[in-house]
Structure 1
Amino acid sequence: MKNNSIKIAILIAGWFLAGCSEKKEAVKPVEEAPVIETFTVKKEKLSTELRMPAELIGFQQVDIYAKVSSYVKELKVDIGSQVKKGQLLMILEAPETSSQLAAAASRLHSQEAVYMSSSSTYKRLFETSKVEGTISRNDLELAQGRKDSDYAQLQAAKASYKEVQSMMGYLQIRAPFDGIVTARNVNLGAYVGPAGKGSDLPLFTIQQQDKLRLSVYVPELYTGYLNNGDELVFTVKSLLGQTFKAKIARKSGALDAKLRSERVEMDVLNTTKKLLPGMVAEVLLPLNSKDSTFVVPKSAVVSSSEGIYVLKVDNHKTLRTKVQKGREFEERIEIFGDIVPNAKLVKTASEEIKDGTEVK
């Protein structure tokens, strides 16, 4: 009886354990396809703004050097002087050049006398030769040759005199255009010249400041959004709270080899003289699309070693589709590639999502 009771207890315990295992197997969860958020892609015109550093420079700027070796005799202007085109800025003194001018004038007068003598001799012989047998043809030809030679030497003397006279004109330094003297690097009595120690620095630097150039380098990606005549807004750090406007006047039409950017210049009227050449400005470039493009969230674009792509959903399965990135604005980005309107894309894409992943 005792053995039978033990056997019955063992059988009951076995049935209980078997029932528990069957219940555990019954509640085992069923694997389902992951829930992936998707969206429908549509075309739209993306309007963005790009802030770029720029530089203000004088519309015209020139460094003036001495043409001849000389000394500073008089200074007519100083830093900050407003000058007009043709205004006398400085008078130089060059004793050697003055001596050369006097010598050239003397040679010119001497050669004029020689030519007048040979010309008169030829004319007399020519008139006399009209009477047959009085002057030989050879003597007449010699007189004409001497006259022509003296005339050539007279022209050379005139050219030499004009050359030295022009050099004397360089002793007066005049303004090439209306502007402001922004630098003066010499004093009275200083030696200046086209070479040597006197040519290290320019005599003056003159800038036109009533009109300035605003120069900005636009990256290659954005060059197609700007055109001549577009009005831009810019600011400078020294004039906080003030904005200025300028229109695009020139584009270089080529990319800088180092920066891979195009130089764009705007003309800025500066009649109030608030803006100064050399100021650093910040330009606001409006990048408005001419045509509608596909704009998607940044999270939908994957950049990996395999390239740039989005995950397109076709028949409830993912398919990697290569694209090119365009402009970015906040959390959105332009894409270009094999995308059609109303296509479904995965909103939060990643490299972990492989091709053929089933999308619920």
Structure 2
Amino acid sequence: MEGRHPDETPPGGKPATSGTVSHRNRWLAIVAVIVVLVLAAQGIWSRHSAHAALERDAEHASALSVAVVQPQKSSSAFDLVLSGNVQAFLDTPIYARTNGYLKQWYADIGAHVKAGQLLAEIETPEVDDQLRAARADLANAQANYALAKSTADRWTGMLKSNSVSKQDTDEKVGDMLAKKGTLDAARFNVARLEKTQSFQKVYAPFDGIVTARNVDVGALIDAGSSGGPAKELFHVASADRLRVYVNVPQAYAQQVHAQQSAYLTLLERPSKHYPGTVARSAGAVDPQQRTMLVEVDVDNRNGDLLPGAYAQVHFSLGAGGAPFTLPGNTLLFRPDGVKVATVDAQQRVKLVHVSLGTDFGTRIAIASGLQGDERVIVNPQDSIVDGAPVRIAAAKPASSAVAGSEPAAGEPPKVAE
């Protein structure tokens, strides 16, 4: 094959020149630079985006997570709910009044008894012996008195005829009076022992239910005369009518009065109401507890309520101008006054001064400072400040801000002790 000169034109094509090659290399270099710049820009942008995302995440993480409630305004009356102790209208322990041994009992726990019904009999051999001895002493005293009286009468008659001296007559009359005193003492002793012997039989003091029986046949009965503690034999309660004692806080003592209506609810049957009436109050506040004792009487002829049970007593109080109310755990007590922490449209904290009204236990009436549309933070930190970023973790309605303490809209607020 013959050789070709580098400058010769190849068959069927254009001659290749050094300028064409240089132009191609230049474009390749430009494309490479552009690719490098694009890659660099992409790397810078990705790093910037990651940094911005990290800053957003850090800012979100630094924002305090809070739960909020809205102020509640009710036009209905407040329902003051306090715990009460249910007691039988009549309730008494029954003790023995004489010593001995239990001969027989006739009523067990749960038995319905009538007033004067025999509950038990006690054997009292010592009392019986004492009574027999006392009756013998009485017979002796009666005989001595009869003799002394007849002697005094004879000497008094003889004194009229001056048959005996005045001194001797006075002695006979004085002896008669002494025997009369001994006779009276013997009679009183017999009567005392007869009454003691009558305590051999234990009777029910009123109509009711036997709630306890603490003795059995043959048990030693000690009435406490030997110096030891007396033992309760039975416990009888009359549960047709009940007394419910409630300690009303000082803030509501003036709003609870006699003949005021109330009703009871039980934890096991919260939907059922048991009507009652305020019978009386102590009329004074306990200086230790700052509460006033109130008695509510409840008709229990159907036997639904049991003495000794725990119940919740509901008192209807005035609405007090239907103020806004908030849970007690939304308040901040600062040196410059009471505040609440709210969340503004920019998700930042705004502290608002408020004036407090009536304290309803778990809820507080807000007399002024709120418009009603604020989002108030529940359980705010003591260190919370104006402008702090927050994020609302769960926007709860007023009825669920504090379990069981906030009513639904339009319902009367309830105040638990």
* TM-score computed with the length of structure 1 as normaliser: 0.71
Structure 2 counterpart of 1:229? 259
Structure 1 counterpart of 2:202? 173
Structure 2 counterpart of 1:129? 159
Q: How does 1:139-158 map to 2 (within 5 A)?
A: 139-158=168-187
Q: How far has the Cα of 1:325 moved from its partner?
A: 3.6
CA distance in structure 2 between the partners assigned to 1:220 and 1:293 by the alignment? 20
**Which of 111, 125, 128 is 1:98 aligned to?**
128
Q: How far has the Cα of 1:95 moved from its partner?
A: 0.5
Structure 2 counterpart of 1:248? 278
**Which of 111, 135, 144 is 2:141 aligned to?**
111
**Which of 365, 369, 372 is 1:333 aligned to?**
365
CA distance in structure 2 between the partners assigned to 1:113 and 1:330 by the alignment? 82
Q: How far has the Cα of 1:237 moved from its partner?
A: 2.9
Q: Secondary structure at the match of 1:253?
A: coil
How big is each residue's C-alpha offset from its partner over 1:185-204, in whole Å with a ceiling of 9 and x where there is no partner? 11101001123798564110
- Are 2:325 and 2:364, in contact at CA under 8 Å, matched by a contact in 1? yes
**Which of 112, 117, 120 is 2:150 aligned to?**
120
Q: Secondary structure at the match of 1:277?
A: coil
Count of aligned residue pairs for this structure pair: 290
Q: Secondary structure at the match of 1:72?
A: strand
CA distance in structure 1 between the partners assigned to 2:291 and 2:160 by the alignment? 81
Structure 1 counterpart of 2:214? 185
**Which of 178, 183, 192 is 1:163 aligned to?**
192
- From the superposition, tell whether residues 119 and 266 of structure 1 become closer, same or farther in structure 2 (CA, over 3 Å): same
CA distance in structure 2 between the partners assigned to 1:297 and 1:159 by the alignment? 72
- From the superposition, tell whether residues 125 and 198 of structure 1 become closer, same or farther in structure 2 (CA, over 3 Å): closer
- From the superposition, tell whether residues 141 and 278 of structure 1 become closer, same or farther in structure 2 (CA, over 3 Å): same
- Are 1:46 and 1:295, in contact at CA under 8 Å, matched by a contact in 2? no
Deviates more, 1:192-201 or 1:56-65: 192-201
CA distance in structure 2 between the partners assigned to 1:200 and 1:159 by the alignment? 26
* TM-score computed with the length of structure 2 as normaliser: 0.62
How big is each residue's C-alpha offset from its partner over 1:90-141, in whole Å with a ceiling of 9 and x where there is no partner? 110111110000000000110011011111111111112211x311111111
Q: How far has the Cα of 1:295 moved from its partner?
A: 3.5
**Which of 113, 124, 142 is 1:83 aligned to?**
113
- Are 2:82 and 2:313, in contact at CA under 8 Å, matched by a contact in 1? yes
AA aligned opposite 1:333: A
How big is each residue's C-alpha offset from its partner over 1:54-81, in whole Å with a ceiling of 9 and x where there is no partner? 1211111111111222100011111111
Q: Which structure is larger by alpha-carbon Rg, 1 or 2?
A: 2
- Are 2:356 and 2:364, in contact at CA under 8 Å, matched by a contact in 1? no
- Are 2:353 and 2:369, in contact at CA under 8 Å, matched by a contact in 1? no
AA aligned opposite 1:249: A
Q: How far has the Cα of 1:346 moved from its partner?
A: 6.8
Q: How far has the Cα of 1:255 moved from its partner?
A: 2.5
CA distance in structure 2 between the partners assigned to 1:227 and 1:129 by the alignment? 78
- Are 1:48 and 1:329, in contact at CA under 8 Å, matched by a contact in 2? no
Root-mean-square deviation over aligned CA pairs: 3.2
Where structure 2 has 5 or more consecutive residues not aligned to the other structure, the ranges are: 1-73, 341-351, 377-381, 387-417
- From the superposition, tell whether residues 331 and 172 of structure 1 become closer, same or farther in structure 2 (CA, over 3 Å): closer
- Are 1:293 and 1:334, in contact at CA under 8 Å, matched by a contact in 2? no
AA aligned opposite 2:196: M
- Are 2:110 and 2:211, in contact at CA under 8 Å, matched by a contact in 1? yes
- Are 2:131 and 2:193, in contact at CA under 8 Å, matched by a contact in 1? yes
Q: How far has the Cα of 1:47 moved from its partner?
A: 2.8
- From the superposition, tell whether residues 280 and 82 of structure 1 become closer, same or farther in structure 2 (CA, over 3 Å): same
Q: How far has the Cα of 1:305 moved from its partner?
A: 3.1
- Are 2:261 and 2:315, in contact at CA under 8 Å, matched by a contact in 1? no
- From the superposition, tell whether residues 70 and 288 of structure 1 become closer, same or farther in structure 2 (CA, over 3 Å): same
Q: How does 1:63-78 map to 2 (within 5 A)?
A: 63-78=93-108
- From the superposition, tell whether residues 305 and 194 of structure 1 become closer, same or farther in structure 2 (CA, over 3 Å): farther
- Are 1:192 and 1:199, in contact at CA under 8 Å, matched by a contact in 2? no
Structure 2 counterpart of 1:338? none
- From the superposition, tell whether residues 51 and 331 of structure 1 become closer, same or farther in structure 2 (CA, over 3 Å): closer
